[in-house]
Amino acid sequence: MAFPSLRRAALVAAVIGLAGLVIAPPAAAAAPRPPHIKGTETAPVYDYASAVRESVWVTTKLDNDGDGAPDKVVVDLVRPREAAAGKVPVIMDASPYYQCCGRGNESELKEYAADGSVTKFPLFYDNYFVPRGYAFAAVDFNGTSRSTGCGDVGGREEIEGVKAVIDWLNGRAKGAYADGTPARASWTTGKVGMIGKSWDGSVANGVAATGVEGLETIVPIAAISSWYDYYRDNGALYTIDGGPAWLSGYVNGRPDEVCQPVRDALYEGSANATGDYNSFWAERNFVPDARKVRASVFIAHGINDNNVETKHFAQWWDALARAGVPRKIWLGQEGHVDPFDFRRAEWVDTLHRWFDYWLQDLDNGIMREPMATIERAPDVWVDEPAWPARGAFTLPVSLGAGDGTTGTLGLRPSRGEMSIVDNPALRERAAVANPNTVVAGRSVFLSAPLERNLRISGTATVSLRVKVDKPNTEISARLVDYGTATRINYQGAKEGIRNLTTESCHGASIPADDACYLETAKDVVTADAAIMTRGWVDAAHRDSLTRPTQLRPGRWYTVTFDLNAHDAVLPAGRVLGLVLTLSDTQYTVPTSTGATVQVDLSRSRLGLPVSLAPGATALPDATVAPKVSAPAPRVYAEEPDRESGLIPQG
């Protein structure tokens, strides 16, 4: 709509010029910069101790607790008191954990004074950013803490409830203080950046997928992108009773009887008996709506996260790329851990610059820097121009019979068959150890020792031509790096880190809310093998997640499934292994066990995402598997079954 007026202005200028007149337009007075802007960064100039702390109840458009009143979401705020700050943007962490479970490595909770006013915010975001000219908003999901409504775990109530806070910050929704007095966010620019780990980051993904105006950036850390994929993998169940209904109750802050109908609906909708994908899960899948995202996205994820697996960031990242969304990514070697607890100083600095760029309009160059930052080994970080690796492609790797005990991986087509007899008692530790020995219930395929470094970057696939003696079976696959190395102990108590007794401080402190947190160090072990990635499939869901079909015993079928995304450089001399088993009672809840599966090796493949130097050979050919010494390593000490600890928390 501005184009005609611009054209008219150009025409007037031309006429004046022809008349020989030169008239300089009056110089526009530059708007004064607030004190917290110092060059291309924000500086801590405002008093944290005297900052405004307040709570606002934001009215939503929903009423899922059925009390006849719109549900309300509580947002606890802290912002600079000084008028010189002007209008400020908002950093928001929306969470279900502020009262039930805590946030961060030290499980901090919100704290309140006797009159209900907020006195302590978990994590460092408020301490660090409020003195730098930001507000911080800690939002309680519907059904948690003081918010009304009932939690629906990734559903419409959760997403629309948090979205309403952004609407309120931009004058599109109503808010009130505890006494009912209207609350208006006249102090903000309306620009919002959401951040959070695990479930907190998941809601950031979901709110961004609505395309809400005012949300400028999100920083999802170890976040879910599709709740079906949090509880299932290709139809294979991760849990039955510990699903969304249980999780809603776990964080519930309302009387049990108020929200039990919602939890009953969650249990019914999740289709635990079948593992099917349905409308319930489609509502909780944010990936298809990546095209609606207006916000930039800075993803952080542990490449060894067994809670919120790497498929979550990978499928979200790929969808954002197709939509042209500005983005950045950090991938650490740890498990379900916040970068604040494994690369603290660099993370705080990068977040500072990211928010300054997207919320304060400061051109600090961060978007001209490499897109990806990856931890190659404990505390060894590299920058990459893209993720997956630029030029990465899927290499078709054949499965060979080898010596009859251990098969081979190579580039030449192979022949023959092999069989796997289900062994539900087989644990992961035993499945990957000593690959040259016979272990009931597994088949192992090994490459020859690598002749040069090999980078695996992206999502591997397994395609098997199988014949099964039962109507259904689960198939499990693991891609293993065999070779002795110092590795992150991501299956340790704190998933790759250990707490120290010293602290570091990031931001301003007051007696009620300090900015100091325990420092950490990497938890490392020397191990003879590393499982790089895993994947599972319920064979009846091989062609459709919504309409499973049973197999006819004795008939050949092709079953293809993805493993979780990964990125690693295997040094020369290492051996790549593929370990196949059937039902996995450690990580999944199989719906069918006891099958025997015949595999046609000539029509089975491993699709390996690799990045090669020009002229390099990915895998040397081998007709017989190499001898590998890999006793059950300490990094794979027996861990609890997935069902006993599936909580997206941190």
pLDDT band of 633, cuts 50, 70, 90: low
pLDDT at 559 over 60: yes
What average pLDDT score do residues 488-517 get?
96
What average pLDDT score do residues 440-462 get?
96
Q: Is 248 among the residues known to form the active site?
A: no
Q: Mean pLDDT lowest for which of 11-25, 172-186, 428-442?
A: 11-25
397 and 249, same domain (yes or no):
no
Q: Is the dihedral of CA 300, 303, 304, 307 positive or negative?
A: positive
β-strand 454-458 against 497-505: which pairing, if any? unpaired
Q: Is 305 among the residues known to form the active site?
A: yes
Output the pLDDT for position 639: 59
Output the pLDDT for position 12: 33
Active-site entry in 55, 95, 147, 198? 198
pLDDT at 324 over 60: yes
414 and 547, same domain (yes or no):
yes
Residue 358 lies in a domain: no
Residue 405 lies in a domain: yes
pLDDT at 240 over 50: yes
Quick check: 142 and 64 in contact, CB under 8 A?
Answer: yes
DSSP string, 17-48: HHTT---PPPPPPPPPPPTTEETTEE---S-S
pLDDT at 571 over 50: yes
Residue 606 lies in a domain: yes
Residue 13 lies in a domain: no
Output the pLDDT for position 648: 77
pLDDT band of 642, cuts 50, 70, 90: low
Residue 372 lies in a domain: no
Residue 371 lies in a domain: no
pLDDT at 451 over 50: yes
236 and 113, same domain (yes or no):
yes
What is the token pair recorded at 2? Answer: 């501005």
Q: Could you give the CA distance from residue 549 to residue 533 in angstroms, rounded to a whole number?
A: 27
Q: Could you give the CA distance from residue 650 to residue 376 in angstroms, rounded to a whole number?
A: 23
pLDDT at 291 over 90: yes
Range of the domain at 567: 393-493+526-644
Residue 640 burial by CB count (10 A; 0-12/13-18/19+): exposed, middle or buried? Answer: exposed
461 and 600, same domain (yes or no):
yes
Bigger pLDDT: 43 vs 15: 43
Residue 164 lies in a domain: yes
252 and 113, same domain (yes or no):
yes
Active-site entry in 76, 233, 305, 513? 305
**pLDDT per residue as tens digits for the range 260-286:** 999 999 999 999 889 999 999 999 999
What average pLDDT score do residues 220-229 get?
98
318 and 398, same domain (yes or no):
no
DSSP string, 568-596: EEEPTT-EEEEEEES--TTT---S----E
Output the pLDDT for position 646: 65
What average pLDDT score do residues 74-92 get?
97
pLDDT band of 7, cuts 50, 70, 90: very low
Q: Please report which residue ranges of 300-453 form alpha helices under DSSP H.
A: 311-322, 344-360, 428-432
pLDDT band of 29, cuts 50, 70, 90: low
pLDDT band of 338, cuts 50, 70, 90: very high
Peptide bond into 435 cis (omega under 30): no
Output the pLDDT for position 576: 97
What CATH number should be reported for the domain holding residue 620? Answer: 2.60.120.260
Bigger pLDDT: 274 vs 637: 274
pLDDT band of 102, cuts 50, 70, 90: very high
Q: Is 611 among the residues known to form the active site?
A: no
What CATH number should be reported for the domain holding residue 157? Answer: 3.40.50.1820
Output the pLDDT for position 273: 86
Query: What is the overall mean pLDDT for the chain?
Result: 92
Per cent of the chain over pLDDT 90 is: 86
Output the pLDDT for position 28: 54
**pLDDT per residue as tens digits for the range 294-311:** 999 999 999 999 999 999
**pLDDT per residue as tens digits for the range 142-181:** 999 999 999 999 999 999 999 999 999 999 999 999 999 9
Phi-psi region of 66 (alpha: psi -120 to 50; beta: other; left: phi over 0): left
207 and 290, same domain (yes or no):
yes
470 and 569, same domain (yes or no):
yes
What average pLDDT score do residues 3-8 get?
32
pLDDT band of 18, cuts 50, 70, 90: very low
80 and 183, same domain (yes or no):
yes
312 and 420, same domain (yes or no):
no
Residue 635 lies in a domain: yes
165 and 282, same domain (yes or no):
yes
Work out how many domains the chain is built from and give that number: 2
Output the pLDDT for position 558: 98
Quick check: 540 and 466 in contact, CB under 8 A?
Answer: no
314 and 194, same domain (yes or no):
yes
Active-site entry in 36, 301, 312, 336? 336
What average pLDDT score do residues 68-87 get?
97
pLDDT band of 56, cuts 50, 70, 90: very high
Residue type for 69, please? Answer: A
